[in-house]
Chain A
Amino acid sequence: MAKDAGTNGPTGLGPMGSGLTRRDFGKATLAVGAAAAVFGNAPAFAQDKVLKVGVLLPRSGFLAQPGQACQRGADIAQTLLPQLGFPIEILGADTESNPDVARSRTEKLIQDGAQVIVGAFDSGQTTAAAQVCEQRGVPLVVNIASAPQLTEQGYRTIFRNFPTSSALVGNGLALMKDLFAATGKTPKSAVFLHANDTFGQANKAALDKLFPTLSMPFAAPEAISYDPKAQDLAVEVAKARATGAELVIVTTRANDAIMIVREMVKQRFEPMAVVSPGSPGMYDEQFYKVLGKYSDYCITNLPWYDPKSALAQQVGKTFKEKFPSDRYEGYAFNIGFTFEAILVAADAFKRAGTGDPAVLLDALRQTNLSEKIMFGGPIQFDEKGQNNAIASACVQNFKLRPTVVLPKASAEADPVFPMPGWQKRA
Chain B
Amino acid sequence: MTTLFDQLTARGRVALGLFALALLAVPFFADGYLISVITLVLWFAYVGQAWNVMMGFAGQLSLGHSLYVGLGAYASAALFVHFGVGPWAGVWLGMLAATLAGAIIGTLGFRFAIRGVHFALLTIAFAEFTRIAFDHIGWLGGSGGFFLPVGDAAGANPFDLRGSPALFYYVILALTFGALALCRRLLHSRIGYFWLAIREDQEAAQAVGIDVFRAKLIAVMISAAMTSLGGVFYAFFYNNLFPEQIFSVGRSIELILAPVIGGIGTLFGPIFGAFILTPLAELVTWGVESAGLDMPGIKQIFYGLALVAIVVYRPEGVWPWVARHLRLVHQPGDQPSHRAGDRP
Contacts and interface: CB of A to CB of B under 8 A. Distances in A.
Given A127-B239, A155-B150, A147 B33 contact: no
B64 to A, nearest CB: 19
Given A59-B296, A100-B40, A108-B33, A165 B144 contact: yes
A155 B148 CA distance: 11
Contacts of B299: 60, 94, 96
Nearest to B303: A96
Contacts of A147: 144-145, 147
A202 B143 contact: yes
Given A149-B147, A155-B150, A104 B37 contact: yes
Contacts of B300: 60, 96
B291 interface: no
A388 interface: no
A319 to B, nearest CB: 18
Given A111-B31, A165-B144, A127 B36 contact: no
Contacts of A213: none
A153 B238 contact: no
A350 B240 CA distance: 34
B149 A103 contact: no
Contact of B144 (A99, A154, A201): A201
Contacts of B297: 59-60, 64
A197 B148 contact: no
Interface string B167-211: 000000000000000000000000000000000000000000000
B252 to A, nearest CB: 14
A134 interface: yes
A174 interface: no
A131 B300 CA distance: 25
A408 interface: no
A124 B237 CA distance: 13
Contacts of B144: 147, 165, 198, 201-202, 205
B158 interface: no
Contacts of B142: 201, 205
Contact of A111 (B33, B149, B281): B33
A136 B164 CA distance: 10
B74 to A, nearest CB: 15
A128 interface: yes
Interface in B274-311: 281-282, 294, 296-297, 299-300
A68 B143 contact: no
A107 interface: yes
Interface in B9-50: 31-33, 36-37, 40
A145 to B, nearest CB: 11
A135 interface: yes
A60 B294 CA distance: 11
A124 B150 contact: no
B157 interface: no
A103 B281 CA distance: 14
Main secondary structure of the interface of B (DSSP, over half): helix
Contact of B143 (A67, A103, A198): A198
Contacts of A155: 150
Contacts of A111: 31-33
A103 to B, nearest CB: 6
Contacts of B40: 100, 103-104
Main secondary structure of the interface of A (DSSP, over half): helix
B149 to A, nearest CB: 5
Nearest to B136: A201
A123 interface: yes
B245 interface: yes
Interface in B129-164: 135-136, 138, 142-145, 147-150, 153-154, 164
* B138, B150, B239, B281 — most chain A CB neighbours (10 Å): B150
A110 interface: yes
A385 to B, nearest CB: 12
Interface string A130-155: 01101110000000000101001111
B165 A135 contact: yes
B272 interface: no
Interface in A210-263: none
A132 to B, nearest CB: 7
Contact of B296 (A68, A100, A103): A68
A196 interface: yes
Interface in A141-195: 147, 149, 152-155, 165
Interface in B233-248: 237-240, 242, 244-245
A100 B154 CA distance: 21
B147 A153 contact: yes
Contact of B153 (A110, A135, A198): A135
Contacts of B143: 196-198, 200-202
Contacts of A165: 144
Interface string B217-236: 00000000000000000000
Contacts of B136: 201
A197 B296 contact: no
A128 B31 CA distance: 18
A254 B33 CA distance: 37
Contacts of A198: 135, 143-145, 242, 244
Nearest to B296: A59
B32 A135 contact: yes
A147 to B, nearest CB: 6
B247 to A, nearest CB: 13
Contacts of A100: 40
B193 to A, nearest CB: 36
Contacts of A196: 135, 143
Given A59-B296, A60-B300, A198-B144, A134 B150 contact: yes
Nearest to A227: B132
18 contacts: A59-B297, A64-B296, A94-B296, A99-B245, A101-B281, A104-B36, A104-B37, A104-B40, A104-B282, A111-B31, A128-B238, A131-B239, A132-B36, A147-B144, A149-B145, A198-B145, A200-B143, A201-B143
Closest CB pairs A-B (n = 5):
A59-B296, A107-B33, A149-B147, A60-B297, A135-B153
Given A60-B300, A124-B145, 6 more contacts: A67-B296, A134-B150, A135-B153, A197-B135, A197-B244, A198-B242
